[in-house]
Structure 1
Amino acid sequence: MSTTQNPASWPDRRALDLLGIERPIIQAPMAGSGTPELAIAVCEAGGLGSLACAQYSVDQAREAVQTIRAATSKPFNLNFFCHRTPQFDAQQHAAWVAQLEPYYRELGLEASTIKPAAGRAPFDAVYCELVESLRPAVVSFHFGLPEPTLLARVKASGARVLSSATTVAEARWLAARGCDAIIAMGSEAGGHRGSFLSQDMSTQVGTFALVPQIVDAVDVPVIAAGGIADGRGVAAALLLGASAAQIGTAYLFCPEVKLSPLYRAALENVNDDGTALTNLFTGRPARGAMNRLMRERGPLSNYVPRFPLAGAALAPLRAEAERKGHDDFTNLWSGQAAPIARQYARPAAALTRCLAEEALKLLCQGMRVGAESGG
């Protein structure tokens, strides 16, 4: 039996026991990039595979779950967004289009034909019925929680409920409303911030300052997320009181993900200071690799329509630029630890095992040193 399968190996088993997994590794959902194949590989390796449903229709989500269940009997996580789709604001839309007009002219496109579209659906009664019929072991939310009646139905289905917190106040809010575990999402994390009580990006907290403060503030297990891409990061998170680590960017280098060649090339070249928080692509702050649009119109802008209405105006620009081989208008979500993640590029199952085994080795070495020194 390997050390990671020994029930006594991990210092804090709360997340493992809660989620029914062998290794304290959770694959971040990553809407648009994650696939059923990625979730399957992580589950089979003893971690928690996740499937992002925000860009799936109900039928697509059901089909993806069928694919997962045909390949693994292990627990997996279905992830949903909890935003409220805003009313269309014609004045704001016009202001945003005006910002993009020079790019439309440059690419020979017509800006006047842009139609507003949401692109990402929030968790609602229809998705709730899907959860009730599929009964996944874990359901996670981003941007808070659904309204209480829907949340009660999710919990009644038997699912463990997770959600992301970017501050201690958000963690307390989630715990008070029945979250079974809280994902402490540091500012280093790639993709959309999970923030919901405040959108002030100037006060976002780093992972290794946030984790111990949330651990001290709530009684439920805490899952560290953001800037963790190797066993050292996992071990550090566990030493700070987390029960598990959620990994995103490191999994983007796995062959099971769905990435365009331009996105892959960006990840291969991004450095530690090559990402920024931006709202330009969707209307909510998210961390991604810097590109032309972020440099010239942001990375944060007051002209951008509220999430998720911003993307419609960018879609024609993105399509035409990508056709010409440029990522000028493409969201290239990435965390700050991408350079570390590149060194660990391998299939998802092997990565999951590697992260856990490296972390456990470091933890065991630390315990031996402590014992030898009389600590």
Structure 2
Amino acid sequence: MMLRNEMTKCLKIAYPIIQAPMAGGVTTSKLVAETSNAGGLGMVGAGYMAPTQIRDQIKEIQKLTSKPFGINLFVPQPFDVSEDSMKAANQALTTIRQQLHLPDKDNFGIADYNEVLEAFKEQIQVVIEEQVPICSFTFGIPSQEVIAELKQHNITLMGTATTVMEAVQNEAAGMDMVVVQGSEAGGHRGGFLNQEQESSDSVGLMSLLPQVTDAITIPVVAAGGIMDGRGLAASMCLGAQGVQMGTAFLTCVESGAHPVHKEAVLSISEDQTVYTRSFSGKWARGVKNHFILEMQNHEVYLPDFPVQNTLTQDIRKAAFAENNPDFMSLWSGQSTRLAKSQTVEALIENMVAEAKKLNVNI
């Protein structure tokens, strides 16, 4: 079993290891650069970033590494900005704001779909202008016009899929490879079909992976619960050409995750993460805390992403500032017992060494 393959050749990396593009400040320039310098692929989680912020971080990373790195963007999907659903959700959040001594929120400031779409187009232009070699997408597939424009500039494109059908659609749209995300993965579900069933019908990686690799011909990257060389070897045995890992990198020294977040992941057991859409309106896996428990009875009527994400922004910001894990979005995958506080270099070196012991040829 060779670790150098079509995927590593396409991405120009030594090892088939991708650091997941975790949005919200986790993917610092140092985390991205150190991953690429160590032979993997560093990825910027740019979904929430303004075009100017993306440009600044690209330039910063380019000073820290000459190796390839990538950018991940959220593909905008139409969403309903219902005044009634926003008011109902905001009412449920009022008691939480009181616990954090925050003022009531009556000015929502929700951007409409056209504004979100325009911001996405601006993000795409920055990726092109700054000549970023790899661009990945979450929450959907970009338009054929966007795909064609990126390919004209020789940018390698990576999609995200949580089902076989999503993977098939990614290949049909022209993605060069696809990240297959199992239910074990931390953070937001990257899929885009049957969103209302995400929490109940999500498929585990080891079941999903061989079904996807049988259905498509482009390289498949495995994601969800992978933390070490054993997960890498298992994924490649099932047909993947590489892995993408989030939680394993989140607890690394170079990660920008809040210290409270890192400590939460390092201290919990595998059964203490749950799916929730209370923070953002989109299903995501994180550490069970007071916010999730208090909001779980309201999840049915919460507005979709990004509306709910905007409504909870003040709560998450206050919890972050106060080092309060009860109200933070502590995203984490299920393999928490395998998480370690270590450098990126040590993580990748240990994975490669473990893969060698398992007779995986480097």
After TM superposition, the score normalised by the length of structure 1 is 0.89
- Contact 1:278–1:299 (CA<8 Å) still a contact in 2? no
Amino acid at match of 1:77: G
* Alignment partner, residue 349 of structure 2: 353
Task: Name 1:266's counterpart in structure 2.
Answer: 264
Residues in 1 aligned to 2:130 and 2:29: alpha-carbon distance in whole angstroms: 15
Deviation readout 1:297-334 (Å, 9 max, x if unpaired): 21881222110111233233334445554222211110
Structure 1 324/19 Cα, relative in aligned 2: closer, same or farther at 3 Å? closer
- What are the equivalent positions in structure 2 for 1:56-135 lying under 5 Å apart? 56-84=49-77, 86-117=79-110, 124-135=120-131
Q: 1:373 maps to what in 2?
A: none
Rounded to whole Å, the distance in 2 between the matches of 1:100 and 1:113 is 12
Q: Kindly indicate whether the alpha-carbon contact (under 8 Å) linking 1:27 and 1:248 is maintained by their aligned counterparts in 2.
A: yes
Stretches of 4+ moved more than 6 A in 1? Answer: none
Letter in 2 for 1:31: A
Tell me, in whole angstroms, the C-alpha distance in 2 between the residues paired with 1:133 and 1:317: 35
Are 1:27 and 1:47, in contact at CA under 8 Å, matched by a contact in 2?
yes
Q: Distance in 2 between matches of 1:364 and 1:105?
A: 54
Q: Output the CA distance in 2 between the equivalents of 1:89 and 1:311.
A: 14
Task: Please name the residue that 1:34 is paired with.
Answer: 27
Give how far 1:362 is off.
Answer: 0.8
Partner of 1:43: 36
Cα 1:229–1:317 change in 2 (3 A) is same
| 1:327 is aligned to 2:325 | yes
Say whether the 8 Å CA contact 2:45–2:71 is kept in structure 1: yes
Aligned positions of 1:228-247 closer than 5 A: 228-247=226-245
Aligned in 2, Cα 1:310/1:226: closer, same or farther, shift over 3 Å?
Answer: same
> Cα deviations across residues 206-234 of structure 1 (Å, max 9, x unaligned)?
01111111110000111000000011111
Q: 1: distance between equivalents of 2:184 and 2:276?
A: 13
Equivalent position of 1:221 in the other structure: 219
SS of aligned partner of 1:197:
coil
Q: Residue 142 of structure 1: CA displacement?
A: 0.3
**Deviation at residue 238 of structure 1 after TM alignment:** 0.7
Q: 1:322 to 1:81 in 2, by over 3 A?
A: closer
2:144 is the counterpart of 1:148: yes
Partner of 1:362: 358
For the residues of structure 1 that align with 2:47 and 2:322, how far apart are their CA atoms? Answer: 28
Runs of 5+ consecutive residues of structure 1 not aligned to the other structure: 1-8, 366-375
Q: Is the 8 A contact 1:114 1:312 kept in 2?
A: no
Q: CA distance change for structure 1 residues 303 and 37 in 2, over 3 Å: closer, same or farther?
A: same
> What is the one-letter code of the residue matched to 1:21?
I
Cα deviation digits, residues 174-205 of structure 1 (max 9, x gap): 00111111111001001110110111121111
The answer to whether the 8 Å contact 1:190/1:334 transfers is yes
Q: Which amino acid aligns with 1:352?
A: I
Partner of 1:3: none
Are the aligned partners of 1:118 and 1:312 in contact in 2 as well (CA < 8 Å)?
no
Rounded to whole Å, the distance in 1 between the matches of 2:30 and 2:306 is: 27
Tell me how far apart the structure 1 counterparts of residues 321 and 27 of structure 2 sit (CA, whole Å).
Answer: 23
What RMSD, in angstroms, separates the aligned Cα atoms of the two structures?
Answer: 2.1
2:7 aligned residue (6, 10, 15): 15
Residues 192 and 287 in structure 1, CA contact (< 8 A), matched pair in contact too? yes
Instruction: State the 1:350 CA deviation.
Output: 2.1
CA distance in 2, matches of 1:338, 1:118: 36
State the 1:80 CA deviation. 0.4
Deviation string 1:5-62 (CA, Å, 9 cap, x unpaired) is xxxx725611111111110100101012111111100111111110111122111111
What letter corresponds to residue 264 of structure 1 in structure 2?
K
Question: Structure 1 residues 69 and 112 mapped into 2: Cα distance closer, same or farther (>3 Å)?
Answer: closer
Which amino acid in 2 is paired with 1:61? Answer: I
Q: Is the 8 A contact 2:89 2:301 kept in 1?
A: yes
Give the deviation of 1:103 after TM superposition.
2.2
- Give the unaligned 5+ runs of structure 2: none
Q: Choose which of 239, 249, 252 in structure 1 pairs with 2:250.
A: 252
How many residues of Structure 1 are paired with residues of Structure 2 in the alignment? 355
Aligned residue number for residue 277 of structure 2: 279
Provide, for residues 43-95 of structure 1, a one-character-per-residue CA deviation record: whole Å limited to 9, x for no partner: 11111110111122111111111111122221111110002363532111011
Measured after TM superposition, the shift of residue 121 of structure 1 is 5.3
Distance 1:112 1:76 in 2: 39
Task: For 2:116 and 2:356, locate their aligned partners in 1 and report how far apart those are by CA, in whole Å.
Answer: 39
Q: Following the alignment from structure 1 to structure 2, what is the Cα–Cα distance between the partners of residues 183 and 75?
A: 18
Counterpart residue number, 1:370 = none
